[in-house]
Copies of this chain bind each other. A is one copy, B any other.
């Protein structure tokens, strides 16, 4: 390929731009995963992770992609033929459902139009009708990466409670953890699924299950087969800083650094930063005269913004122009949204000027690709950013 000067803009909604500190932390000799130095590091990571998931419970780390953590959540808690209630928020909810079925679970899918988060009221209603408690788990995607719509997980919890239903609550936070406010304990989630390559700012290769006591209890009688994903094998050695099989040591180095960085910034500042960039991005989209895929303001995502192409125009052709002309990767439309939307990732290690560059790449790309739009999106975003101080600035001014 032709040589490209300057830094590539990786603005897919994950993997995200890995900060130098994390890449450098991983760029160190692998150590003995059964020795005292590893033990010390692993204890620090396992304990630090809890601050990110906002839990006092164990967080289990798999050397695997996020897809593995989806599987782990199900095989540890359920038995063949169990019924799982899922919500069709978009492509990833659909994939999770497909995975559940491959594992021998029965699924029920509350239909959605891929333009909102999950509707807690619909979930409540369905649960209330399940007098026999056939439904064993409710699975929602916190931030649907294919649409940029957020589900109110606390409301889902309340829905389950209102129905006095014993189902487990599982939430996929793959593209929301460490980007959008999330509280495993406070919201009563039983299994939280997450991955390394989004808000945690790491390369892909680690995924997570945060588990509640109720989930651990369910694990005792769950009969789906499992070995690699078995929580019970993990929990005992983890208490001591060890793992039942070889862990992905160098990714753990990066994770230790990530946790330090997120806590240095402060999780609430991290959320505010993402939220601010989401708002700036949406202002740009509106200025261009394009339509934001997410239909509900309450469901807007701080991690990514999916944008509908004008009728009859190819999102993929547009993305190709942006990549070729401006060396920026944007997210494609997935599943039934293929070629109809493009997605702007604004999550991870990111700041105002990189966002401005990103939006400039979109605006110039629209022009280059001949997509009908109005100029002024970057301008609109800048007006917002220039007037609304970010959290880091506030703190600096105060110091």
Binding site for B on A (CB under 8 A): 1-10, 12, 14-20, 23-24, 26-37, 40, 62-68, 71, 99, 102-104, 195, 197, 203-205, 224-228, 230, 244-251, 261, 264-265, 270, 273, 323-329, 332, 349-354, 356-358, 360-361, 363-364, 367-368, 375-376, 378-379, 382-383, 385-387, 389-390, 392-393, 395-397, 399
Contact = CB atoms under 8 A, between A and B. Distances in A.
Nearest to A355: B357
B33 A15 contact: yes
A387 B367 CA distance: 8
B30 A246 contact: no
B349 A5 contact: yes
Contact of A250 (B4, B203, B273, B379): B203
A189 B247 CA distance: 27
A326 B225 CA distance: 44
Contacts of A393: 324-325
Given A265-B3, A273-B5, A379-B375, A246 B66 contact: yes
Contacts of A363: 382, 386
A23 B17 contact: no
B386 A31 contact: no
B228 A5 contact: no
A351 B35 CA distance: 19
Contacts of A203: 30, 248-251
- Please list the 3 inter-chain residue pairs (A to B) with the smallest Cβ-Cβ separation, ordered nearest first: A6-B351, A356-B360, A357-B357
29 contacts: A1-B37, A1-B40, A2-B392, A2-B395, A3-B265, A6-B350, A6-B354, A7-B17, A7-B351, A9-B353, A17-B30, A18-B250, A20-B29, A23-B29, A63-B65, A64-B68, A67-B227, A68-B228, A71-B227, A204-B250, A205-B205, A326-B353, A327-B352, A352-B364, A353-B361, A356-B356, A364-B385, A375-B379, A375-B383
Contacts of A68: 63-64, 228
Contact of A66 (B23, B67, B245): B245
Contacts of A248: 65, 203-205, 248
A2 B324 contact: no
